[in-house]
Structure 1
Amino acid sequence: MSLAISWNNEQEEYEIGDSLITMLEQILQKAGEAEGLHEGEVALTFVDNERIHELNREYRGIDRPTDVLSFAMNETGEDEPEIIYELEEGEELADLPDMLGDIIISVTRAQEQALEYGHSLERELGFLFVHGFLHLLGYDHQDEAAEAEMMSKQESVLAQVGLTR
């Protein structure tokens, strides 16, 4: 097994094509390699601002849309949603891939930020994806040192797949 993405598109503003998913899979492999992680699955969902606003309010208590949300499977706490596996007939828990967590990206916000920062939407989506992935692994940007470390890791991965500013 290797690192994999299972994805879902819940927005209609931007067509999610095979080339974008292939690029995100490359980003996942590079980010995983950099962290010594070679197996697992990430669930990726593309949404609009309205939906991410709802999720942000419900799970983070923040009443506004954001660009990306991450929900790590290894986190437990009162704010974390309960995770329930629905097994297919004949399937066992051991058959399931190692789910790392969920990444939810607002394509609406990504489009706005790409314009604001003067780069492509693909670069912005790649940035948000690797950012979300690092959050799944426990990275955060609560202070300047942690933010600098996370930014360095993100930019390194993006450079490896040709998504520089």
Structure 2
Amino acid sequence: MECFINNQLDKALEPALEKALRNLLQEAARQEGVPEGAEVSVTLVDDAEIRRLNRMYRGVDAPTDVLSFPLQDEEEVEPPIKGEEGELLLGDILISLETAARQAAAYGHSLEREVGFLALHGFLHLLGYDHDTPEREEIMFRRQEEILGKVGLVRG
């Protein structure tokens, strides 16, 4: 799976963080049976930008940690959106690096683990997972921990 990382912050992204994000999402794609030619985009933004997007798309005037925008809709009657032959455009994941840093400090784990968790959370939403009921939340969160464990991004 192709993973595009877009850094919209004023400072450069640590190469190790970018590499960890790519590895995690590629492993998640393998675990979930996502076709080889699939594409996902991860954009790192600040709190002001994610607040603007959260207000625009969800009607919530506050920063959040992650937003995802799927290009596929499992309920669509139309064929899935595709790029060139063999490519599947999954969607976009936006992460506030400022919020991720605060959450990592609060939870006592690395920024790499927190950003990985948020990226994976957004990625699973792109694949149709949700946490809108207790049953679906249990399935999604268990899957997140399984995949994070496979790449060594465990809590603590």
Is 2:154 aligned against 1:164? Answer: yes
* Letter aligned with residue 147 of structure 2: V
Is 2:24 aligned against 1:27? Answer: yes
Alpha-carbon distance in 2 for matches of 1:5, 1:56: 23
What is the SS of the residue equivalent to 2:12?
Answer: coil
CA displacement at 1:123 relative to structure 2: 0.2
* Letter aligned with residue 35 of structure 1: E
What is the SS of the residue equivalent to 2:84?
Answer: helix
Corresponding residue number in structure 1 for 2:69 = 71
**From 118, 125, 142, the counterpart of 2:115:** 125
Corresponding residue number in structure 1 for 2:41 = 43
Alpha-carbon distance in 1 for matches of 2:97, 2:136: 26
CA shift in 2, pair 1:35/1:96, >3 Å: closer
RMSD across aligned positions (CA):
1.8
CA displacement at 1:38 relative to structure 2: 3.1
Corresponding residue number in structure 2 for 1:55 = 53
* Letter aligned with residue 75 of structure 1: D
Alpha-carbon distance in 1 for matches of 2:44, 2:98: 9
Runs of 4+ in 1 over 3 A off after TM superposition: none
Corresponding residue number in structure 2 for 1:10 = 8
Alpha-carbon distance in 2 for matches of 1:44, 1:111: 17
**From 130, 146, 152, the counterpart of 2:136:** 146
- TM-score, normalized by length of structure 2? 0.87
* Letter aligned with residue 143 of structure 2: K
What is the SS of the residue equivalent to 2:100?
Answer: helix
CA displacement at 1:159 relative to structure 2: 0.8
Q: Would you say the 8 A contact 2:35–2:88 is kept in 1? A: no
Corresponding residue number in structure 2 for 1:134 = 124
Alpha-carbon distance in 2 for matches of 1:61, 1:114: 26
Runs of 5+ unmatched residues, structure 1: 77-92
Runs of 5+ unmatched residues, structure 2: 75-82
Q: How many residues align?
A: 147
Q: Deviations over 1:71-129 (max 9, x none)?
A: 000139xxxxxxxxxxxxxxxx5368321100000001001100111101000000000
Alpha-carbon distance in 1 for matches of 2:95, 2:122: 9
Alpha-carbon distance in 1 for matches of 2:69, 2:152: 27
